[in-house]
Structure 1
Amino acid sequence: MKIDPPTWHPEPKRPDYTPPAGAVDAHCHVFGPGDRFPYAPERKYTPSDAPKEKLFALRDHLGLSRNVIVQASCHGRDNAALLDALRNDPENCRGIAVVDPEISDNALRDMDAAGVRGIRFNFVRRLVDPDPQDVSARLAARVAELGWHVVVYFEALDLDELAPFLRDLPCDVVIDHMGRPDIGSGVDNPGFTSFQRLMEQEGMWTKVSCPERLTTEGPPYDDVAPFARTLVEGFPDKVLWGTDWPHPNMKSHQPDDGLLVDRIPVIAPTEELRRKLLVDNPTRLYFS
C-alpha cells in the first residue's frame, strides 16, 4: 500500500498565544515507526511515520504540557505504539485505545496501568468497518468498571442513528471533532442543534478540534470558529481541545499546529473558558 506523504507542517509557527501551565493536547496520535510497530493489514491508508519523539517535541514547541494520545485506525487494534508512548512519559501522557471486543480483563488492566483511560469507537465507514452497536455496548460496560470512558468518531449524518446508542452507554462519552458538523449550513442548522441537545445529557463531552478537517474556506478556519465557540460557551465544563497531530488523511493542506493554538482565544474568548478547555476539563477526565 502506498505510503502517504507527511500531513503535518514541517515548520509550525511558535504560537503567539501562550497556553496556561498544565495545558493538555487531548487529541493527537503516534504512528509507527512502521519497522517497529507495523501498521494493520486491514488499514485503509498508510501514514508516514510520526513517532512519539516528534509528538513530544511538538508539545514543547507549542507550549503545551500534556498529551492524550488516541489510537488511530491505521494501527487497528494493535496498541503497541500507543502503549510505548505512554510508558515513555507516564506523568504527562494518557491514552485512548482501540481493542478487540473479546480482549481479556488482564489485558485491560495492563492498559489501565500504562495510562489508558478509554476506548474509541470509530463509526466513520470510509476509515473502518464498525462493530455492531450491541457488541460495542457490551465492551463499554466492561471498561466502565475500570472508570474509563468511550470516545466516538462519526459523521454528522449518522447522529440520529447513533444518538440513542450513545445515550444508553454506561459511562462518559467524548465525541470527536464536534460530531463533524456541516459548516456550510451555519450554527443554526438542525444537525448542530440536535448535537447540542445530545450534549445536554449528563456525561457527554466533545472535542472542539479539527477545524482543518471541517472548514470549507481553509486557514485560519474562521468558518469553523462559531461552532466551537458555541460549544465552549454553552458547555464550558464538557469541552476538550486537541491538535489532531499528525493530521492523518489530510489532502487539502498541511495544518500549522502553531496556528491551531492561536485559534484557542478565538473559540474560548475568556481566560476562565480557556483554563477550563485546556487544563481543568482534561485534567479531571484523564489525570485525576
Structure 2
Amino acid sequence: MEIRDILADVKYSHISHSPEFVLPNNSCDCHHHIYDRRFPYVADDTRNLPDATVDDYNQFKKWLGHSRHVLVQPSSYGTDNRCLTDALAAFGPNARGEAVVNETVSDTELDALQLAGVTGVRFNLGTGNATTPDMILPIAIRVAERGWHVQVHATADQLWDLRPLLLQIPGNLVIDHYFRLPPGATSHSSWRLAWELIERGKCWVKLSALYHQSQRDDVSDMAALVSCFLREATERVLWGSDWPHPNLISANKNMPDDALILSKIYHWAHNDQVRHKLFVENPAELYRFN
C-alpha cells in the first residue's frame, strides 16, 4: 500500500504532510483509545463518540510509523473492558492495555485482563464516574503485586490535592498528559510534585495530548515544558498520540496535526539516545514488551 492510500484512510487527524522523520524500530504509542459501537457505552455516557476501530488505528499507525501501542480504556465504557480486550486480541503481541476497574474487581477478572495483555489500570478523574480517588490506593496495592502500573488522569490542581495519596502508590505510577501543566508552569505546585514523584524512581510522564494546555495549533508553546521532561527525566518519559482525540471530538474542535505534533516532540528530544529512550526503551520496560 502506498503512502497516499494510507493517508486517504487515516481518520481523526488533520493531515498536512507525511512525517519527515523515521521513528526507531519498535517505537510505541503509549496512549490511544478504541471505540467500537458493537460494545455498548455506559448508560450515563453523554459524549456518544463515533467508532474509532482497530482497522482505523492500523491505518494511523502505518502513517506515523510506529509498531507498538498501548490501548487505554475510554470513559465511555466505564469498567466494562470487553472492547479493550477484543481490540487487544485483534492487534496481537505488539499491543498492551490499560483497563479501568473499581473496588469490586475480582482476582479472576484481573487474571483474565492480564492474559489479554493488560499491564496497568487507569483512573480518569476528569471524565466519567466509574472510579473515585478513594479507590486508587487499595487497587494500586493489588495490581502492584502483579507488576502492573497505576495511571492517573487529572488536572494539575487535582494532582496537587492528591499528593499524599500519590506518594503512597507502591508500584509504578503513570501520570497522563504531562500532569496537565500549562506552558511555563514552573511556578505551579504540580510542577514541584512532578519532580518529587520522578525522583522516587517509579513515576512515568506521558507526553501526550499537548493540545490540552497549548494555546497554539503547532503546540510550540509547550517546547520548554516538554524539553525539560525529556532532558531531566529521560528515563521516565513516554509518548502518546491520544488518538482519536476524544476530548476534541466531543467539544467539536478541529483535529490536531498528529505528524506535526510528533515531529515537535521528536526534535525536542534533541538526540537519538533520548529518542530511543522515549519511543522504545521506556515503553518496553513499563509495558513489558520484552
TM-score, normalised by the number of residues in structure 1:
0.91
Q: Shift of residue 170 of structure 1?
A: 1.4
Please give the residue correspondences for 1:106-145 in structure 2 after superposition, counting only pairs within 5 Å. Answer: 106-124=108-126, 127-129=127-129, 131-145=131-145
Q: Which sections of structure 2, spanning at least 5 residues, go unmatched?
A: 1-9
Contact 1:178/1:206, CA 8 A, preserved across alignment: yes
Aligned to 2:173: 173
- In structure 1, the residue matched to 2:4 is none
Aligned residue type for 2:186? D
CA distance in 1, matches of 2:146, 2:46: 31
Distance 1:161 1:258 in 2: 35
Measured after TM superposition, the shift of residue 196 of structure 1 is 2.3
CA positional deviation for 1:198? 2.7
Q: Is the 8 A contact 1:208 1:239 kept in 2?
A: yes
Residues of 2 paired with 1:67 and 1:18: CA distance? Answer: 16
Equivalence for 1:200: 199
How far the C-alpha of 1:11 sits from its partner, in A, is: 4.2
Inter-partner Cα distance in structure 2 for 1:55 and 1:22: 17
Pick the aligned partner of 1:222 from 220, 223, 241. Answer: 220
Aligned to 2:81: 79
Q: C-alpha offsets along residues 64-101 of structure 1, whole Å, 9 cap, x if unaligned?
A: 11110101111111111111111112211000000132
- Partner residue in 1 for 2:261: 260
* 1:19-168 equivalent positions in 2, closer than 5 A: 19-32=23-36, 34=37, 36-124=38-126, 127-129=127-129, 131-168=131-168
Deviation at 1:62, TM superposition (A): 0.8
Aligned partners of 2:200 and 2:74: how far apart in 1?
27
Report the Cα distance in structure 2 between the residues aligned to 1:194 and 1:139, rounded to whole angstroms: 22
AA at the equivalent of 1:76: G
* SS of corresponding position for 2:137: helix
| Preserved CA contact (<8 Å) 2:144 2:171 | yes
In the alignment, does 2:16 pair up with 1:9? no
Aligned position for 2:242: 244
Q: CA RMSD in A?
A: 1.8
User: SS where residue 237 of structure 1 aligns?
Assistant: helix
| TM-fit CA distance, 1:213 | 1.6
Letter in 1 for 2:226: A
What amino acid sits opposite 1:209 in the alignment?
S
Structure 2 distance, partners of 1:154, 1:161, is: 10
Secondary structure of the corresponding residue to residue 247 of structure 2: coil
Deviations 1:13-47 (A, max 9, x none): 32112111100000011011x1x111111223111
Equivalent-residue separation in structure 1 for 2:140 and 2:82 (angstroms): 21
Q: Do the aligned partners of residues 226 and 84 (structure 1) sit closer, same or farther apart at CA in structure 2, a change above 3 Å counting?
A: same
Give me the whole-angstrom Cα distance separating, in 2, the residues matched to 1:44 and 1:198: 34
Measure how far apart 1:130 and its partner are.
Answer: 6.3
Cα distance in 2, alignment partners of residues 39 and 77 from structure 1: 10
The amino acid across from 1:270 in the alignment is N
Q: What is the distance in 2 between the residues matched to 1:270 and 1:63?
A: 18
Of 147-156 and 249-258, deviating more is: 249-258
Separation in 2, partners of 1:262, 1:227: 16
Unmatched 5+ residue regions in structure 1? Answer: 1-5
Report if aligned partners of 1:9, 1:255 keep a CA contact under 8 Å in 2. yes
Distance in 2, Cα, partners of 1:174 & 1:111: 19
User: Is the contact made by 2:29 and 2:239 (CA closer than 8 Å) also made in structure 1?
Assistant: yes
Deviation of the 1:7 alpha carbon: 8.5
Deviations 1:197-250 (A, max 9, x none): 33222211110111122111x221111121111111111011100100000021
Q: Distance in 2 between matches of 1:73 and 1:87?
A: 20
Alpha-carbon distance change, 188 to 7 in structure 1, aligned in 2, over 3 angstroms: farther
Question: What TM-score do you get using the length of structure 2 for normalisation?
Answer: 0.90
2:3 corresponds to? none
